[in-house]
Amino acid sequence: MTTAEITEELRALLEAELNGIVSSRDMPLYGMMSYHMGWTDSGGGPVSKTIGDRAHGLLCLLACHAAGGDIATALPAAAAVELVENFCRIHDDVQAGNPRRDNRDSVWWVWGPAQAINAGDGMHALARLALFRLTQAGVPPTVTVRAFRLLDEASLRACEGRFLDLEAQEKIDLGIEAYKDMAHQKTGSLFSCSMNLGALVATYDEDDNSDLLEAMATCGANLGVALQMHQDLLQLWGDDDGDVPDASPDAMNKKKLLPVVYAFDKASVGEKRRMGEIFFKRVLEPDDVAKLRGIIEGLGVREECGEMVNRYRSRALEVLESVSLSSDGKKQIQQFADDLLK
């Protein structure tokens, strides 16, 4: 099988696990979750198009496979992290007022913010319940408790990151170190948890798996930061299709995207003042975003941001060289990382 075929097979297994968890309970609350996950339309009817990257769940499964573990055992862990990520997305959309997600109306846009908060809270609890399936898959209670701890620590750190991200909207000049800290918490921690959990489930009965777990955790953390930086670039310049967004909703929300933070670092006093004037406005208009993009491009930081993404990507993959993994497993992780950062 090609790497792409393997990823597709893993995706199908993960999807079945996720679907089994969400549809195990019967109530319109879970209808909102099914909609968010892309399985139904807002009326509850089936949809055929696959949406959602499932990157957290897939990286958990790929880490398990590369570490020589059994995919079936890792499925509950993969589903759990994926559900935590998706609960965060549901709440993020409420918090940022994003009307759209995956080219569809976001949950709060369809059901209102109050019920969207419930959908997120429910998915947060459901993520934990998903993890109990580990014991059914034969994982001993001590390891299950450890898995819970990894998931809960990561959930809390992701929440801390979301706090910092929101707080940064009110700041003018964030600073690149503060940005990196925030990205580590917000995006790095859950990716780190995904790969850590996958490797833990694969190797818990081995004598010394601590180097392996640490390498996987570091790989995930760096990959997460690379992905957040990459997505920040897409917010301003679109993807390779030349599909440049007129007005990035994140930029209009005064989110401190990497290029914005970087530009402040490099700007002269005059350019800083021009950017400051834009961010002093209570609400940004599409015009302001265009102005901001112009200043940033003038400073030439776009390329440097791209290099920074590459550095994090390299760090993520290099750390895997220090531990023993199946060569095809490692290749699959590399391929997945490349696809993610395309």
Q: Is 91 in the site for its own copies (CB under 8 A)?
A: yes
State the SS3 of the chain: CCHHHHHHHHHHHHHHHHHHHHCCCCCHHHHHHHHHHCCECCCCCECCCCCCCCHHHHHHHHHHHHCCCCHHHHHHHHHHHHHHHHHHHHHHHHHHCCCEECCEECHHHHHCHHHHHHHHHHHHHHHHHHHCHHHHCCCCHHHHHHHHHHHHHHHHHHHHHHHHHHHHHCCCCCCHHHHHHHHHHHHHHHHHHHHHHHHHHHHCCCCCCHHHHHHHHHHHHHHHHHHHHHHHHHHHHCCCCCCCCCCCHHHHCCCCCHHHHHHHHHCCHHHHHHHHHHHHCCCCCHHHHHHHHHHHHHCCHHHHHHHHHHHHHHHHHHHHHHCCCCHHHHHHHHHHHHHHCC
Contact by Cβ (8 Å): 232, 292: no
| Region from 65-73, 148-156, 223-231, 293-301 binding its own copies, contact rule CB under 8 A | 148-156
Q: Is 199 exposed, middle or buried (0-12, 13-18, 19+ CB in 10 A)?
A: buried
Q: Which of 47, 129, 172, 247 binds its own copies (CB under 8 A)?
A: 129
Nearest to 198 by CA among 85, 316, 56, 78: 78
Q: Which of 3, 19, 95, 231 binds its own copies (CB under 8 A)?
A: 95
Q: Is 137 in the site for its own copies (CB under 8 A)?
A: no
Q: Is 113 in the site for its own copies (CB under 8 A)?
A: yes
Kindly provide the b/e burial profile for residues 287-296, where b requires at least 16 CB atoms within 10 angstroms of the residue's own CB.
ebbebbbebb
Q: Is 94 in the site for its own copies (CB under 8 A)?
A: yes
Applying the rule CB under 8 A, the residues between 149 and 208 that interact with its own copies are 149, 152-153, 155-156, 159-160, 162-164, 166-167
Q: Is 286 in the site for its own copies (CB under 8 A)?
A: no
Q: Which is nearer to its own copies, 114 or 269 (CB)?
A: 114
Q: Is 142 in the site for its own copies (CB under 8 A)?
A: yes
Least Å distance, CB 253 to its own copies, is 10
Q: Which of 102, 105, 121, 297 binds its own copies (CB under 8 A)?
A: 121
Least Å distance, CB 28 to its own copies, is 7
| Region from 138-146, 232-240, 288-296, 327-335 binding its own copies, contact rule CB under 8 A | 138-146
Q: Which is nearer to its own copies, 94 or 292 (CB)?
A: 94
Least Å distance, CB 34 to its own copies, is 14
Q: Is 115 in the site for its own copies (CB under 8 A)?
A: yes
Applying the rule CB under 8 A, the residues between 19 and 48 that interact with its own copies are 25, 27-29
Q: Is 145 in the site for its own copies (CB under 8 A)?
A: yes
Q: Which of 144, 187, 192, 218 binds its own copies (CB under 8 A)?
A: 144
Q: Is 120 in the site for its own copies (CB under 8 A)?
A: yes
Q: Which is nearer to its own copies, 110 or 166 (CB)?
A: 166
Q: Is 118 in the site for its own copies (CB under 8 A)?
A: yes
Nearest to 173 by CA among 249, 232, 260, 302: 260
Q: Which is nearer to its own copies, 110 or 117 (CB)?
A: 117
Question: What is the binding site for its own copies (CB under 8 A)?
Answer: 25, 27-29, 88, 91, 94-96, 113-115, 117-118, 120-122, 124-126, 128-129, 132, 135, 140-142, 144-145, 148-149, 152-153, 155-156, 159-160, 162-164, 166-167
